[in-house]
Amino acid sequence: MAAEKRAYFPAGWLPYALVAPQLAITLVFFMWPASQAIWQSLLVEDSFGLNVEFVGLLNFRELLADSFYLNSFKVTAIFSVVMTVGALLISLVLAGCCDYLIRGVRVYQTLLIWPYAVAPVVAAVLWSFIFNPSVGILTYVLRSWFGVEWNHLLNGNQAMTLIIIASGWKQISYNFLFFLAGMQAIPKSLIEAAAIDGAGPLKRFLSVVLPLISPTTFFLLVVNIVYAFFETFGVIDATTQGGPVQATQVLVYKVYRDGFKGGDLGSSAAQSVVLMVIVIVLTVVQFRYIERKVQY
Amino acid sequence: MIENRPGLRLFCHAMLLLSVLTLAFPVWIAVVASTHTAERMLTVPIPLWPGTELLDNYRNVLLKGVAGASAAPVSRMMFNSLVMALSIAVGKIIISLLSAFAIVYFRFPLRMVFFWMIFITLMLPVEVRIFPTYKVVSDLHMINTYAGLTLPLIASATATFLFRQFFMTIPDEMMEAARMDGASALRFFWDVVLPLSRTNMAALFVILFIYGWNQYLWPLLITTDESIYTAVIGIKRMIPGGDASVDWNLVMAAAVLAMLPPALVVIVMQKWFVKGLIEQEK
């Protein structure tokens, strides 16, 4: 909590009225459903919804023993790490290049940021068309030039590659923007001092620029992981639907599949609770870091 | 420029140009596909250069829709997306402005409780409370309505924080002067705080418009009637599972139409967009 105002308006009913809309929506659509999810995760319901039994942590114990669920964790981990690291590295290099140039920075920025505006699911439709097993243009190139048979509907690794490309595509724009802003905020005098001491462009980038933008890098790391965990639902639903054979079944998709398609509400709710814990941890990490930065 | 290294400069330009082209490649393919006939798009290799069916395809998609999974015209879906994106953006901005104002400029019991309740919404994305939220909305009879589509997404901790942060930077003297002149809280809000917040509102608007337009999971659950599909949902529904034949030319025309509005908003309002994004880091 930063400084507070030193004077206030006299309270009365007004402040309550002002927070009321936000609070009403928070209570009805956030607090209540979340508590329902937690409650549901402790119950077992038969498939007709006639018989409900309180079972404590049974749903969670079953989850941890379920090899499909553990596999889904592994898939999510591989997916989010590869996508995050890949998108971060590419955008770091691009931002470094853009920052090195004096002219054309704004032009490149405009040409590179628009993919951010494209919905993940639309991005997925575009990429799955390009990689379409029968008519895709890259499928054709891969087959006739490299002799690679591409079919992400059958090959798990190819499916994973496809969702990484389709999700990483728009993250490059986002990361690029933050890296560029971070680099441009570095005082030119620091870079010049390093140059006078004889550091070349690469050396300057590695030992001056990179450490100075590390807060941005950390921020992006968290944001990208959150994105990979939660916002790629559309990408997966439009391309692989978790297949082939669970190869791209990330946690969020499994919650949806088990609940909506499978009708296993108890297990689905338990999975929701696990996800909630993951979000809470990520949020706390992010805010601890912001607090630290403010103190400097 | 510190030293003159034409080679390095050339390398940088080459890298940037290459990535500009790579990023644009899928969209180019989509645009090209939307200008050919359905039959041409099934002949391998598909064309890389625009054809002649542009007007026909777009007219078809906008007015008649894509036959098959969803027959609603894309113009209808785009209207739904627009309503959704605007309501979410405007709604979030209004309720966040109000609650941030209350939390910064008043001292009242439960203030911190409210603050933390708003904060906690950050930790509860739709994805982790899908079913219970769906149940609430269906109990309120809001399935297939604009209210059901937008209300559950309208609470915003991020926007509230941004405004709170900004209000903290408004000098206390302004408020003291206003009170001395006998202005009420609402008058101060309307005549001082709102005009000062314009830049922040514009920046947030761009981000939230895109957020709203691109929503997928929630509309997927809440819209079962074609007349209320959003553009993003419509496109997904146009592609049936498996290898069934798809009119790729029409699907790609719809995809191009669906990405046009948010892309235009980003490019036209680039300054606000960049500001709004970068603020989130602070």
What average pLDDT does range B208-221 have in this prediction? 91
CATH 1.10.3720.10 fits B75-229+260-279, yes or no: yes
Tokens standing for residue A21: 């809309």
pLDDT band at residue A295 under the 50/70/90 scheme = very low
Phi, psi of A54 (to 5 degrees): -80, 125
Of the two residues B145 and A55, the one the predictor is more confident about is B145
Residue B109: pLDDT over 80 = yes
Residue B5: pLDDT over 70 = yes
Residues of B in contact with A1 (CB under 8 A): none
Distance from CA of A258 to the nearest CA of B (A): 11
pLDDT band at residue A90 under the 50/70/90 scheme = very high
Q: What is the mean pLDDT of chain B?
A: 86
Residue A1: pLDDT over 60 = no
Look-up of token digits 């009242």: B108
What average pLDDT does range B6-20 have in this prediction? 90
pLDDT band at residue A78 under the 50/70/90 scheme = very high
d(CA B150, CA B147): 5
Residue A153: pLDDT over 50 = yes
Domain assignments of chain B as residue spans, ordered by start: 75-229+260-279
Residue A175: pLDDT over 90 = yes
**Domains in chain A and their CATH numbers?**
66-295 (1.10.3720.10)
Residue B66: which of B228, B240, B221, B212 has the closest Cα? B240
Q: Which residue of A has its CA nearest to B265?
A: A117
Tokens standing for residue B176: 């003291």
Q: What is the mean pLDDT of chain A?
A: 86
Q: Is A237 on the interface with B (CB under 8 A)?
A: yes
Of the two residues B93 and A154, the one the predictor is more confident about is B93
Q: CB–CB of A97 and B216 under 8 A?
A: no
Is the ipTM higher than 0.90? The answer is no
Q: Considering only A57-71, A177-191, B231-245, which range has the smallest mean pLDDT?
A: B231-245
Distance from CA of A204 to the nearest CA of B (A): 11
Write the CB contacts of A114 (distance below 8 Å, at least 6 apart in sequence).
Answer: A173, B263, B266, B267
Transcribe B136-174 into DSSP letters.
HHHHTT-TTSHHHHHGGG---HHHHHHHHHHHHHS-HHH
pLDDT band at residue B130 under the 50/70/90 scheme = confident
Residues of A in contact with B102 (CB under 8 A): 14-16, 18-19
Q: Considering only A234-248, B19-33, B151-165, B229-243, which range has the smallest mean pLDDT?
A: B229-243
pLDDT band at residue B31 under the 50/70/90 scheme = very high
Tokens standing for residue A191: 């870079």
Q: Is A199 on the interface with B (CB under 8 A)?
A: no
Residue A296: pLDDT over 50 = no
